[in-house]
Amino acid sequence: MIKRDECLKSLVEKIAEDEIVVAAYTTAFDLVAIRPSPYNYISSGAMGLTSSHALGFALAWPDRRIILLDGDGSLLMNLGCLVTTATAAPKNLIHFVLENGTYEANGGHPIPGQDSASFSGMAKSAGYKNCYELSDIDAFENHIGSILQEEGPTFVTIKCEPGEIYPQDYRYMHSAKIRDEFAEAVKNF
Amino acid sequence: MTNINNKISTASETLSGSLVIKAVKESGVQTVLTVPDKTTASGLLRPIAADKNLQHVRVCKEDETIGISAALSYSGNRSLILIQYTGLLDSLNAIRAVAVDYEMPICMMVGLLGKEPGVLPTDSKRYGVKIIQPILDVMGIVHHVIETDDDISIIKPAINKAYETSSPVVLLIGRPPVAE
């Protein structure tokens, strides 16, 4: 298992300051604490749509790498996105799933398929170009650099557990301010 | 109350698919996100899929289109969602969250499968068709019925307004557009 905050800290060191990172729910709270940036796009309100937002950004800016930090519960609510994305085949999309086996933002109840579903297996079957599953921080550190350089769409399952708990300010997450800051940051892309 | 068309146009009794697509393009739409709908499958979706001047994305389920369209809008890429009313009903939470709460310019063209020609949607014998406009009213979403060629002039200003005001709009296709 990888501590989610350790994984995110390592990842943000390897990406550009102006790179769009799309995240949902608990991972989003971790992200904004670890990487406060107007280039973070927070998807909330309609669970599952994080991946669809990311596909939209990938299509909008095909020359910019889009990092998607999806949740396992979120992905289960929008599994069709795997086929939609694989068919659209954006070369610039890296779809991470932070798999903790629970609906962490909704009380920590287990997801269906907690011990049996393979998200990378589903992505591979859907047609993603590259699929990986990483379950310890050493493997993550060893492989993430080269994975980030590959032509996508790429799918990476991160077997994780919560690390440090960061503030969870839902009002800020849902605010127009956070979306306005993002819009301002990307307006000249 | 948002703007329900209170009457059905009668001067023309057909709806031209090519003229609808022309109006969509004139409104600056570059990308069309689709899940097939029997009402619009021949007259709109097939020619859109073949149109080299439109980016066409086939989507598995209608609520995905809401997220994709919202994200595209940040780049200035105008998109149109082409779905069936059943897909609209299935996507209500996505529309509520992204289009309404987050005030995004989500433009939906929605086929009213089974609506009787010349009959107002709210007067349809089809329960699913009958409830669409009241639901959109409750959600505060602007909507227009596109039933005949006389209604096509509504399309461009409706899409332009959605993007200018960053708000959703639904264009309800009241009869199968004629494929040309």
pLDDT at residue B1 tops 50: no
What lies within 8 Å, CB to CB, of B104 at 6+ separation is B69, B70, B73, B98, B166, B167, B168
Whole-angstrom distance, CA of residue A173 vs CA of residue A88: 29
Chain B contact present for A45, CB below 8 A: yes
- What pLDDT score was predicted for residue B126? 97
The candidate with the shortest Cα–Cα distance to A59, out of B176, B165, B151, B54, is B54
Residue B7: predicted pLDDT:
64
d(CA B75, CA A183): 9
For the CA atoms of chain B, what is the radius of gyration?
A: 15
Residues 84-103 of A with CB under 8 A from B: 84, 87-88
Residue B4 belongs to a domain: no
pLDDT band at A68 (very low <50, low <70, confident <90, very high): very high
**pLDDT of amino acid A121:** 98
Contact flag B64-A45 (C-beta cutoff 8 Å): no
The rounded percent of chain A whose pLDDT value lies above 90 is: 81
B interface with A, Cβ–Cβ < 8 A, is 31, 55, 57-61, 63-72, 74-75, 77, 93-94, 96-98, 101-103
Using a CB-CB cut-off of 8 Å, the residues of chain B touching A41 are 71
Report which residue type is found at B134: P
Residue B3: pLDDT band by 50, 70, 90 thresholds?
low
Residues B44-69 have a mean pLDDT of: 98
- Backbone CA torsion sign across B117, B119, B124, B129: positive
Contacts for A176-182: CB closer than 8 Å, 24+ residues apart:
A176/B102, A176/B103, A178/A42, A179/B102, A181/A38, A182/A38, A182/A39, A182/A40, A182/A41, A182/B74
Mean pLDDT of A6-28: 95
Q: Tens of pLDDT along B75-103?
A: 999 999 999 999 999 999 999 999 999 99
A107 vs chain B: nearest CA distance in angstroms? 21
The pLDDT tens digits of the residues spanning A91-100 come to 999 999 999 9
Measured CA to CA, the distance from residue B52 to residue B105 in angstroms comes to: 24
Q: With a cut of 60, say whether residue B2 has pLDDT above it.
A: no
> What is the CB neighbour count within 10 angstroms for residue B86?
17
pTM of the model: 0.95
Please tell me the total count of domains within chain B. Answer: 1
Inter-helix orientation angle A4-13/A137-149, to 10°? 30
pLDDT band at B64 (very low <50, low <70, confident <90, very high): very high
Q: What is the pLDDT of residues A133-172, one digit of tens each?
A: 999 999 999 999 999 999 999 999 999 998 888 988 888 8
The answer as to whether B129 is a domain residue is: yes
Which pLDDT belongs to residue B9? Answer: 64
- Please judge whether B74 and A48 are an interchain contact, meaning their C-beta atoms are less than 8 angstroms apart: no
Task: Name the average pLDDT for chain A.
Answer: 94
ipTM: 0.96
Grade residue B15 by pLDDT with cuts at 50, 70 and 90. Answer: very high
Residue the block writes with tokens 């798999």: A99
For A109, residues 6+ apart whose C-beta sits below 8 A from its C-beta are: A102, A103
Q: Give the pLDDT confidence of B125-135 residue by residue, as tens digits.
A: 999 999 999 99
Q: Which of B63, B77, B102 sits opposite A60 (nearest CB)?
A: B77
> CATH no. for residue B158?
3.40.50.970
Residue B3 is assigned to a structural domain of this protein = no
Note whether residue B66 is domain-resident: yes
Query: What angle do helix axes A4-13 and A25-34 make, rounded to 10 degrees?
Result: 50
Q: Average pLDDT, whole number, for chain B? A: 95
Nearest CA in chain A to B70: A53
Contact B57, B81 (CB under 8 A): no
Q: What's the half-sphere exposure (Cβ side, CA atoms, 13 Å) at B123? A: 11
Q: What percent of chain B has pLDDT over 90?
A: 91
In a domain, B179, yes or no: no
Read off the pLDDT of each residue in A34-60 and give the average, rounded to a whole number. 94
CA atoms within 13 A on the CB side of A23: 25
Are A53 and B64 an interchain contact pair (Cβ–Cβ within 8 Å)?
no
Cross-strand partners of A87: none
Phi/psi zone of residue B84: left (φ > 0), alpha (ψ -120 to 50 degrees), beta? beta
Q: How far apart are the first and last CA of chain A?
A: 37
Q: Residue B132's closest CA among B168, B165, B89? A: B89
Question: Which tokens is A44 given?
Answer: 């909330």
Residue B146 lies in a domain: yes
Contact between A53 and B67 using a beta-carbon 8 Å cutoff? yes
pLDDT in tens, B111-124: 999 999 989 999 99
**Counting one residue from A and one from B, how many pairs have CB atoms under 8 Å apart?**
90
Q: Which of B54, B57, B68 to mutate to test the interface with A (most CBs of A within 10 A)?
A: B68
Q: For residue A50, list chain B residues with Cβ-Cβ distance below 8 A.
A: 67
Kindly state whether residue B180 falls inside one of the protein's structural domains.
Answer: no
Instruction: Tell me which residue has tokens 């909704």.
Output: A106
Nearest to A45 among B31, B57, B97 (CB): B97
B54 CA to chain A: closest CA distance, Å? 13
| B60/A84 Cβ within 8 A | yes
Q: Do A54 and B101 touch (CB under 8 A)?
A: no
Q: What is the mean pLDDT of residues A106-127?
A: 93
Q: How far apart are CA A60 and CA A54, in angstroms?
A: 10
Name the minimum distance, in Å, from the CA of B101 to any CA of chain A: 9
Domain that holds residue B120: 17-173
Alpha-carbon gap, residue A16 to A141, rounded angstroms: 17
Helix (H, G, I), strand (E, B) or coil at B35: coil
Q: Is the dihedral of CA A83, B129, B157, B168 positive or negative?
A: negative
Average pLDDT over residues A12-23: 96
**In the Cβ-directed half-sphere of B13, how many Cα atoms lie within 13 Å?**
3
- Domain membership flag for residue B10: no
